């Protein structure tokens, strides 16, 4: 499940937003908030840089999300004991509870996919998902937009 989870989130996909079952989890949380809680649930602790990377967001956006979740009491932030410039994010008990419920909803979603596919189809689906994720992660070749000719009368 963690591989699928990371596949979704590293590519900017928010699987919980596709599930009506997830709407009740925490109505005052955004999709990015839930994604952050799930990331911390799976990784236990993340620096701000790691969180931004996993979310596929700029550091400033990840910082805003973290501050919002601190205000809501779902995470706490602490300075690293090795380097005071590094901020470590961890879940509070309440945040862990919400993240566990969201992870359970995702597990149900993945089980429904597994039940709908044969073992061969599931392997093919995973291979194709990884191929698509890889393609989405590659930066497109830089090319200048084609010029446009405007006729002047």
DSSP collapsed to 3 states, the chain: CHHHHHHHHHCCCCHHHHCHHHCCCCCCCCHHHHHHHHHHHHHCCEEHHHHHHHHCCCHHHHHHHHHHHHHCCCEEEEECCCCCCCEEEEECHHHHHHHHHHHHHHHHHHHHHHHHCCHHHHHHHHHHHHHHHHHHHCCCCCCCCCCCCCCCC
How do residues 22-71 score in pLDDT, each as one tens digit?
656 666 788 788 889 989 998 999 999 999 988 888 999 999 999 999 99
Specify the fold of 2-136.
Answer: Arc Repressor Mutant, subunit A (1.10.10)
Confidence of residue 21 (pLDDT cuts 50, 70, 90): low
The predicted structure's pLDDT at residue 65: 94
Tell me which residue has tokens 């862990």. Answer: 96
Give the start-to-end residue ranges of the domains of the chain: 2-136
Cut 0.85: pTM above it: no
Q: Give the least confident one: 114-123, 124-133, 140-149.
A: 140-149
In terms of pLDDT, which residue wins out, 110 or 20?
110
How do residues 79-95 score in pLDDT, each as one tens digit?
888 888 888 999 999 99
Beta-sheet strand order (sheet of 87-91): 46-47, 87-91, 75-79
């Amino acid at each position: 499940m963690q591989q699928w989870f990371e596949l979704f989130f590293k590519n900017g996909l928010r699987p919980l937003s596709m599930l009506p079952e997830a709407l009740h989890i925490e109505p005052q949380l955004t999709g990015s908030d839930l994604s952050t809680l799930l990331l911390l649930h799976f990784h236990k602790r993340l620096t701000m840089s790691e969180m931004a990377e996993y979310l596929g967001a700029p550091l400033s956006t990840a910082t805003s999300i973290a501050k919002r979740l601190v205000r809501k009491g779902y995470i706490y932030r602490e300075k690293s004991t090795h380097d005071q410039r590094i901020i470590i994010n961890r879940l509070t008990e309440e945040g862990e509870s919400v993240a566990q419920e969201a992870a359970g909803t995702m597990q149900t979603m993945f089980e429904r996919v597994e039940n709908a596919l044969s073992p061969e189809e599931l392997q093919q689906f995973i291979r194709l998902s990884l191929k698509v994720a890889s393609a989405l992660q590659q930066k497109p070749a830089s090319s200048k937009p084609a010029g446009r000719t405007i006729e002047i009368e």
